[in-house]
């Protein structure tokens, strides 16, 4: 068995599996990965068939650039966004079937021809100009130079067209770093808004997530410490909710209050839940827990 046949029988199953996987995969990224596997196997086939230049270009252009852009777009559009099944192109199914049949006919004819007449191979063509790369260069830049130039002109036109389509006229002057700094200082002068970075989220004994507000020295919430989308999406915790468990603990430690297992030992109140309400609800839940012999107080869980 020659090296070429070995490469074929090793890679062909992988390529078929990759192609099937590309069609059947549910996630777009998995499809892209399967396609990448097919492309790389194809490139190795090229290398085995005495076409090393095509091998490198296949990987650089298709796997490295085009498929990478696919992946890029898939990631930008969203990790889990579902495909819409609304057909925007009318009659595309008919065209797809017609073109598919045409492709099958073409493949059968091409493969049949190769099987019947026997493959020519690249050995002779490569030897003609002293190598695969030189032979390709002679074809592309001498014999087919006009076709090559026309293709490149087409590609450049497409690239320029894409840039024109996405071009936007700038209606307002660009705000660079300097103007923004000046704006911040002006806002400070006029409204007293602090020109520095916004305050970080609050850090408490039990919370330091981004939705935890920081408290100002007077005990009120620093609004800017929680980002605007979070503030608009849900109500953020109030200082009372944040401080109640620790206040209870301090009181217990100081010994001037009876230990209240409902507050400070359990999960903190959810935003919007009042402390007392939560205490009552927890007492009930705790009773059921005790009967089950579980204790889910924070200390045990941690």
Residues found near another protein in the complex (CB under 8 A)? 27, 29-30, 33, 36, 40, 43, 52-53, 55-57, 59-60, 63-65, 68-69, 71-72, 75-76, 79, 131-133, 185-186, 188-190
Phi, psi dihedrals of residue 253, rounded to the nearest 5°: -65, -40
Question: Which residue has 């603990």 as its token pair?
Answer: 249
- How far apart CA 213 and CA 197 sit, in angstroms, is 15
Helix and strand totals (H; E) in the chain: 13, 2
Angle 207-300-262 (CA atoms, 0-180°, nearest 5)? 70
Both tokens of residue 240? Answer: 């009372």
- How far apart CA 222 and CA 206 sit, in angstroms, is 18
Residue 226 or 282 having the CB closest to another protein: 226
Smallest gap from residue 60 Cβ to another protein (A): 5
* Percent helix, percent strand, percent coil in the chain, to nearest 5: 65, 0, 35
- How far apart CA 289 and CA 283 sit, in angstroms, is 10
Enumerate residues 6+ apart whose C-beta is below 8 A from 125: 135
Smallest gap from residue 43 Cβ to another protein (A): 8
Residue 77 or 228 having the CB closest to another protein: 77
Smallest gap from residue 188 Cβ to another protein (A): 7
Residue 103 or 185 having the CB closest to another protein: 185
Smallest gap from residue 63 Cβ to another protein (A): 6
Residue 75 or 106 having the CB closest to another protein: 75
- How far apart CA 184 and CA 179 sit, in angstroms, is 9
Residue 193 or 290 having the CB closest to another protein: 193
Smallest gap from residue 190 Cβ to another protein (A): 7
Residue 190 or 218 having the CB closest to another protein: 190
- How far apart CA 263 and CA 257 sit, in angstroms, is 12
Residue 40 or 244 having the CB closest to another protein: 40
Angle between helices 3-24 and 28-48 (to 10 degrees): 170
Smallest gap from residue 181 Cβ to another protein (A): 13
Smallest gap from residue 299 Cβ to another protein (A): 23
């Amino acid at each position: 068995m020659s090296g070429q046949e070995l490469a074929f029988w090793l890679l062909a199953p992988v390529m078929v599996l990759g192609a099937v996987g590309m069609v059947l995969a549910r996630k777009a990224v998995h499809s892209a990965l399967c396609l990448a596997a097919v492309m790389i196997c194809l490139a190795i086939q090229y290398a085995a068939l005495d076409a090393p230049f095509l091998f490198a270009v296949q990987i650089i252009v298709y796997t490295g650039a085009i498929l990478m852009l696919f992946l890029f777009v898939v990631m930008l559009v969203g990790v889990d966004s579902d495909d819409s099944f609304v057909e925007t192109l009318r009659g595309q199914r008919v065209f797809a079937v017609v073109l598919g049949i045409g492709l099958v006919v073409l493949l059968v004819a091409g493969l049949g021809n190769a099987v019947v007449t026997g493959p020519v191979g690249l050995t002779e063509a490569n030897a003609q100009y002293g190598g695969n790369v030189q032979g390709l260069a002679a074809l592309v830049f001498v014999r087919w130079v006009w076709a090559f130039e026309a293709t490149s002109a087409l590609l450049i036109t497409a690239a320029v067209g894409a840039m024109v389509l996405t071009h936007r006229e700038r209606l307002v002057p660009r705000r660079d770093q300097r103007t923004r700094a000046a704006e911040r200082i002006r806002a400070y002068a006029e409204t007293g808004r602090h020109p520095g970075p916004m305050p970080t989220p609050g850090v408490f004994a039990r919370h330091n997530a981004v939705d935890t507000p920081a408290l100002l020295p007077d005990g009120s919430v620093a609004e800017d410490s929680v980002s605007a989308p979070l503030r608009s999406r849900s109500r953020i915790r109030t200082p009372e909710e944040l401080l109640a468990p620790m206040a209870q603990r301090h009181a217990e430690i100081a010994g001037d209050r009876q230990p209240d297992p409902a507050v400070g030992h359990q999960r903190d109140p959810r935003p919007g839940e009042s402390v007392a309400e939560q205490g009552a609800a927890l007492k009930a839940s705790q009773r059921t827990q005790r009967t089950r012999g579980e204790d889910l107080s924070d200390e045990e869980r941690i």
